[in-house]
Amino acid sequence: MIPEQTPANLDAEKARLAAARQEAEGQLHSLSKQILQQVGEAESALFEAQAMFLDDPVLVEKAESAIDAGNNAEQAWHEASEFFAAQLEGLTDETLRSRSVDVRDVGRRVIEILLGVESRPMPAGQTILLARDLTPSQTAAMDSSKILAFCTVEGGPTSHTAILANALGIPAVVGMGNTLLDIEDGTVLLVDGTTGLVASNPTPELLAEFDKRIEAESQQRESEVESAAQPALTADGHRVEVVANVGSVDEARKALKYGAEGIGLLRTEFLFINRNKPPDEKTQYSAYRSIFDLMGTRPVVVRTLDVGGDKDVPYYDFGKEANPFLGFRAIRISLDHPDEFKSQLRALLRAGAGHDLRLMFPMIATLDEVRASKKFLHEARSELLSKGVALAEKMQVGIMVEIPSAALLADKFVPEVDFFSIGTNDLTQYTFAAERGNKRVSHLNDSCHPAILRQIERVVQAAHAQGKWVGVCGEMAGDAEAIPILLGLGVDELSMAPARIPSSKRLIREWSLIDARTIAAQALNLESAEDIRRLVKA
Ligand code: PEP
Ligand code: MG
């Protein structure tokens, strides 16, 4: 498929490659966004990591020298990415070795753009797909209403393709060997993604058994959704509030459908990104108002603006930072822009009138930051009161615990707040000094680690000692293996992606607080996240 013509103009050929790389970058960012919505952060990071390869100096230089040597852009990019992938394959570190698949995936994407072709495995009707191998991006682009399952000759169970299939809910069996390709088109196949069983022309008995299992699983999901509106009480009667993380009115609707008892994290960024100037107070007011109206008297925890880091907005240009995650972001920006900060606070105070508004500040590192934020809140409130405007009355004010300094000094923060919401996504990246979107260090980013649990324990104890409550709103709150431990540590509220609520409530009902406490106490004394996950599974 790769053409063999020698280019007439080497500079034009390099420009053609650069344009294709740029287009690939755009495609990968959109794919990453789509997967973030459909699946989650870890899976979406995979495509951000792929996008990074596009600018890898070794890869780009190698491709450009190949063009200088008379190759066309397709040949040059193919040669360079194959060279890079082969180098990765030769390494002993398993994580780095597995990155070769991503390099080839990016390689293929750029070549397809250069050739103007598209290769999505998309059949006309419903089918089971058999392939030698599938790349993560081919898997991410699958339409699960058409691809009922897939099997591959190559690949391992921890490959990104397998992880993505699992997260997208597509049954898959990978690494089956060459005999897979002997199966003829049109054969009736039975694929069990849980056990890895693939049966061609299954007996009627086996088919019947599978029909029963499929039915049982869908009934379980149905019954989880049916009982999702009920509170989550442990077997011994302890109640945990289960609420949702949302970033739009649509998501708030979905949260209600799945039994959210409120919103535990409203990411207000949704209003600020994808525009060229900050939204004015009126725009903000009506957007917040429609969410409050939807939620009625249920609690809504709203986080003030959390941009910076990896969330760029075009109208704030603070120059390039060497370490954006450690730089000017979130509350640091708000405190430096009092007019914009107060405008958001006024919009929220007004929109929250008659509702259970709970306000929280993101990325708090010091007590001074909380006090300064509360001062602006006080000013915003006084300004509205002096005009006789209706506003949220008994509003709670809290902070996000995302930086170890806040967890370590939790007892000092308690008098300043009504609640804490622990953002375990950021807390984990800052505890392990491992950027959360960087696939190369993702093995360090498991929140179910004793180093994180000990910080959660500390925050809960400090808060409960003075009658305050604690929520967890990072991905960990919806992680089935982490939930029993969070219960046992005394966390009062779990805030998660709406779709995770029904099964999480079911899980909470299956545990007793006593057992959860026992397992949490054991977990605190283990050495690693793997040990903890093994303990919970056992
Ligand atoms: C977190 O850091 O855990 C969190 C919930 O905030 P975000 O994921 O929006 O950074
Ligand atoms: Mg965060």
C-alpha span between 355 and 245 (Å, rounded): 18
At residue 98, the pLDDT reads: 75
At residue 99, the pLDDT reads: 81
Q: Please report the DSSP string for 294-320 in residue order.
A: HHTTSEEEEEPP--BTTB--TT-----
Pocket of ligand 1 (CB under 6 A): 265, 267, 306, 402, 423-426, 473-474
At residue 196, the pLDDT reads: 86
The neighbour count for residue 232, using CB atoms within 10 Å, is: 23
Q: For 328-354, write each residue's pLDDT tens digit.
A: 999 999 999 999 999 999 999 999 999
At residue 503, the pLDDT reads: 94
Options 78, 160, 355, 449, the catalytic residue: 160
At residue 135, the pLDDT reads: 84
Options 78, 355, 448, 473, the catalytic residue: 473
The neighbour count for residue 156, using CB atoms within 10 Å, is: 12
Burial track 192-203 (b if 16+ CB lie within 10 A, e otherwise): ebeeeebeeebe
In the residue annotation, 448 being an active-site residue is answered as no
**Of 127, 182, 132, which Cα lies nearest the Cα of 155?**
132
Q: Which amino acid is at 60?
A: V
Strands 299-303 and 356-361: parallel
**Of 493, 35, 474, which Cα lies nearest the Cα of 267?**
474
At residue 495, the pLDDT reads: 97
- Given ligand 1 and candidates 426, 428, 479, 486, which is best to mutate, with the most ligand atoms within 8 Å of its CB? 426
Ligand nearest to the CA of residue 364, numbered in listed order: 2
Tokens of 145: 């209403």
In the residue annotation, 160 being an active-site residue is answered as yes
The neighbour count for residue 503, using CB atoms within 10 Å, is: 18
Q: From ligand 2's centre to the CA of 17, what distance in Å? A: 36
Place of tokens 């500079």: 11
Q: Please report the DSSP string for 475-537 in residue order.
A: GGGG-TTTHHHHHHHT--EEEE-GGGHHHHHHHHHHS-HHHHHHHHHHHHTSSSHHHHHHHHH
At residue 157, the pLDDT reads: 67
Residue of minimum CA distance from atom 6 in ligand 1: 423
List Cα–Cα distances, 100 to 21, 24, 190, in angstroms: 18, 18, 31
Q: For 232-247, write each residue's pLDDT tens digit.
A: 999 999 999 999 999 8
Residues in the chain, pLDDT under 50: none
Can you give the pTM of this predicted structure? 0.72
Burial class (CB in 10 A: 0-12, 13-18, 19+), 438: middle
Q: Any bridge partners for residue 357, and if so which?
A: 300
List Cα–Cα distances, 224 to 221, 499, 517, in angstroms: 5, 11, 25
List Cα–Cα distances, 161 to 103, 166, 169, 174, 468, in angstroms: 14, 9, 12, 9, 43
Tokens of 100: 């070769």
Burial track 388-416 (b if 16+ CB lie within 10 A, e otherwise): eeebbeebbbbbbbbbeebbebbeebbee
C-alpha span between 301 and 299 (Å, rounded): 6
At residue 123, the pLDDT reads: 65
